[in-house]
């Protein structure tokens, strides 16, 4: 679905999109460094970070406990779904409807991917370690207390922000930082380990990037250069 008329090209956005093409993203070296970081956190630092926030609760905890709700499904999926319905059936604005659909699908696909990984790896949540000393991965566990990795809240929040960043490149850095900060609230409230949050953010970035390629390939919303069309 493409809009008539000219397309405003943003050179920085074009370069970023080109860097996301196969061979550019995910970069094998970056992937190796990220994997090493996750392993370091799981083996050596996750518990220390969790213990720090568990024993030093104050104003930061109160703020994080409020902000963390922004990663819940109703808050993340609800707005783009509502915008899509209003734009598609009331305002008759297909361009806006397609933008909302892109954000909605990005969040939903990221959430579903994370849910599958959660069930497969079965990581014990921080609460089990803090209260019972249980730490590690217990594969194929369906219980919620064994579904810490990756963070679902983080996946939804970062997917929403990454998708919006793709639509509004001039606010890209602000949106990406916002998504990561919402994800980090899960660490502050000791609902997830730091590695859970970083992995969820990486998976949502991958999902949004692949969806942007798909939309661009089909001529929906993004031009061939990856820049959103008017």
Domain hosting residue 99, numbered range: 11-217
Structure tokens at 19: 């860097």
Q: At 6, is the pLDDT very low, low, confident or very high (cuts 50, 70, 90)? A: very low
Structure tokens at 64: 């994080």
In a domain, 230, yes or no: no
In a domain, 5, yes or no: no
First to last CA, the chain: 11
CATH number for the domain harbouring residue 145? 1.20.144
17-56 pLDDT, tens digit per residue, is 444 444 456 688 888 999 999 999 999 999 999 999 999 8
- Total count of domains within the chain: 1
Please determine, for residue 156, whether its predicted confidence score (pLDDT) is greater than 60: yes
Alpha-carbon distances of 157 from 31, 101, 180, rounded to whole Å: 22, 16, 8
DSSP string covering 50-100: HHHHHH--SHHHHHHHHHGGGGSHHHHHHHHHHHHHIIIIIS--HHHHHHH
**Beta strands of the chain (E only): which ranges?**
none
49-62 pLDDT, tens digit per residue, is 999 999 988 899 99
């Amino acid at each position: 679905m493409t809009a008539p008329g000219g397309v405003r090209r943003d050179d920085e956005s074009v370069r970023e999109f080109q860097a996301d093409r196969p061979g550019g993203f995910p970069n094998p070296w970056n992937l190796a460094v990220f994997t090493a970081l996750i392993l370091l956190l799981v083996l050596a630092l996750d518990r220390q970070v969790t213990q720090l926030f568990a024993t030093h609760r104050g104003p930061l905890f109160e703020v994080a406990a409020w902000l963390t709700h922004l990663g819940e499904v109703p808050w993340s999926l609800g707005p783009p779904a509502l915008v899509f319905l209003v734009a598609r059936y009331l305002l008759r604005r297909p361009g806006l409807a397609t933008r909302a659909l892109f954000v909605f699908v990005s969040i939903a696909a990221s959430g579903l991917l994370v849910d599958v990984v959660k069930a497969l790896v079965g990581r014990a949540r921080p609460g089990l370690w803090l209260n019972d000393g249980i730490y590690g991965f217990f594969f194929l566990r369906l219980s919620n207390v064994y579904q810490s990795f990756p963070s679902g809240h983080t996946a939804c929040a970062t997917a929403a922000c990454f998708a919006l960043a793709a639509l509004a490149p001039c606010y890209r850095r602000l949106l990406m930082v916002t998504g990561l900060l919402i994800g980090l609230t899960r660490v502050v409230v000791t609902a997830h380990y730091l590695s859970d949050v970083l992995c969820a953010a990486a998976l949502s970035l991958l999902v949004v990037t692949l969806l942007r390629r798909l939309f661009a390939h089909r001529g929906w919303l993004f031009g061939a250069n990856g820049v959103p069309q008017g």
